[in-house]
Amino acid sequence: MADTTAPTTSSASPARDRRTDRVPGRTQGVLLMFVSCLPILGAVLLAPVLPSMQDAFAGTPGVEALVPVTLTIPALMIGLLAPFAGGIVDRFGRTRLLVVALVVYAAFGTAPLWLDGLPAIVLSRAGVGVTEAAIMTCCTTLIADYFSGAERDRWLGLQTVFASVSATVFFAVGGGLGAVSWRAPFWLYASSLVFAVLAARLLWTPTGGAADPADTGRPGGALPPVPWRSVMPAVAVTLFGGVVFYTPIVELPFALDRVGVTAVSTIGAMAALASAATAVGAFTFGRVAGRGTSALLPVAFGLAGLGLVLMGATDAVAPTVAGAVLASAGTGLMLPTLLVWAITPLGFQQRGRGTGLWTAALFIGEFLCPLLVLALTAVVGGLGGALVALGVAALAMAAGTRVGLTRVR
């Protein structure tokens, strides 16, 4: 059996732009990093203005449910539609879909500036999620297309770094604009138009070649099948990994409230510290990727599990924050490790579908995270017990992936 735990992917054909003889480099990598942050914009930008939105639509039936849905529905749409976006990417190309998605993203994202009804705003947010599914799939696929080996590992780690840092920045910007008006943060969605122009000028869809057996095409124009038996274990673990990744992000404010911290500024500072730990973990990946998935993934889940157990088992502030930092460092290492595991067996004409399914698993896990924590809280009688239960599950996953991946290798 092939070693699917190695940090590098299958031999990639040159990603040179045949029209201009350009080769991908730092310009393309940095642009893809920034574009990858746009779905993060959709996830956190509105959080500070949710109370103001609820007040503005106080007379709308079901406002208590509809307003939070404006924040979460894009992630659900990514989870549902990313696999379909992956199929389009493989069949029709990366950059064309990316540019179109960036333009439509601006239209849906800014729609609440002139929409008056809350249900219409919720629908526009669903449209944002549709475009985000395409953006995420295209960006990650292009990173895998343009780069290989250690350089690919470094860019995939930086993708998580950029996402973590941008989450902190967007939260602060959303709060500042929200002080002006609850509609003001929606203007930032227009920034995708700038990225659409840059993507059209600086990015291209590489073509597969004989260096990659999966790139040879099939009779009748059919796409080569994806080696699902090799990809699905990574996808399944990523579904749980999405839950673990999102837990310290969503639950840290509630965990701090549980130990007596109620000041919004203090909670924000502690959340920023945890976010920085995620970035550090992801940044570390590019330097330790040579150890392979079978070594890194158990460490990542182990750190996350220990951190969640510490968050849930303590009644003091310092250990709660320390647990969140430890868990976040683990999840920062975990995401690029899972992605590299998933894309390792994929060729050029398979990469969009495989990446789309991986993205769907991650975002479905994130969407399910609050629901799962809520269910565990009801079963064990408190948030602390729920965090400990998830931490123990993450530790079990660390042991399981260590054994399973070592056997495969």
Q: What is the pLDDT of residues 273-312, one digit of tens each?
A: 888 898 899 889 888 888 888 999 999 999 999 999 999 9
More confident call, 190 vs 264: 190
Half-sphere exposure of residue 50, counting CA atoms within 13 Å on the CB side? 18
pTM of the full structure: 0.80
pLDDT (0 to 100) of residue 321: 93
pLDDT (0 to 100) of residue 6: 42
Exposure letters 45-75 (e unless 16+ CB within 10 A, then b): bbbbbeebbbebbeeeeebeebbbebbebbb
Residues 6 or more apart whose Cβ sits within 8 Å of residue 363: 75, 76, 78, 79, 82, 242
DSSP 355-367: HHHHHHHHHHHHH
Domain ranges of the chain: 10-210, 227-409
Mean pLDDT of the chain: 84
pLDDT (0 to 100) of residue 11: 38
Predicted confidence (pLDDT) per residue in 318-360, tens digit: 999 999 999 999 999 999 999 989 988 888 788 888 888 998 9
Question: Which run of H or E residues covers position 347?
Answer: none
Predicted confidence (pLDDT) per residue in 40-65, tens digit: 876 677 767 777 888 889 888 888 77
Predicted confidence (pLDDT) per residue in 251-282, tens digit: 888 888 888 887 767 777 788 788 889 889 98
pLDDT (0 to 100) of residue 4: 44
CA 409 and chain centroid, separation: 27
Helices (H) and strands (E) in the chain, counts: 14, 0
In this model, does residue 128 exceed pLDDT 90? yes
pLDDT band at 239, cuts 50/70/90? very high
10 Å CB burial of residue 146 (0-12, 13-18, 19+) is: buried
Average pLDDT over residues 126-130: 92
Do domains 10-210 and 227-409 share one topology? The answer is yes
pLDDT (0 to 100) of residue 264: 64
Tell me, which fold does domain 10-210 have in CATH?
Growth Hormone; Chain: A; (1.20.1250)
Predicted confidence (pLDDT) per residue in 113-125, tens digit: 999 899 999 999 9
Q: Crossing angle, helix 383-408 and helix 228-258, to 10 degrees? A: 160
pLDDT band at 9, cuts 50/70/90? very low
pLDDT (0 to 100) of residue 18: 66
Sign of the dihedral defined by the CA atoms of residues 111, 116, 120, 123, in that order: positive
Residues 6 or more apart whose Cβ sits within 8 Å of residue 69: 122, 125
Predicted confidence (pLDDT) per residue in 17-41, tens digit: 666 667 888 999 999 999 999 988 7
In this model, does residue 215 exceed pLDDT 50? no
In this model, does residue 183 exceed pLDDT 80? yes
pLDDT (0 to 100) of residue 203: 92
pLDDT (0 to 100) of residue 17: 66
Closest CA to 34 of 185, 143, 144: 143
pLDDT (0 to 100) of residue 20: 64
Cα gap 191→271, rounded to integer Å: 26
Cα gap 353→362, rounded to integer Å: 14
Cα gap 166→159, rounded to integer Å: 11
Architecture of domain 227-409: Up-down Bundle (1.20)
Average pLDDT over residues 216-243: 79
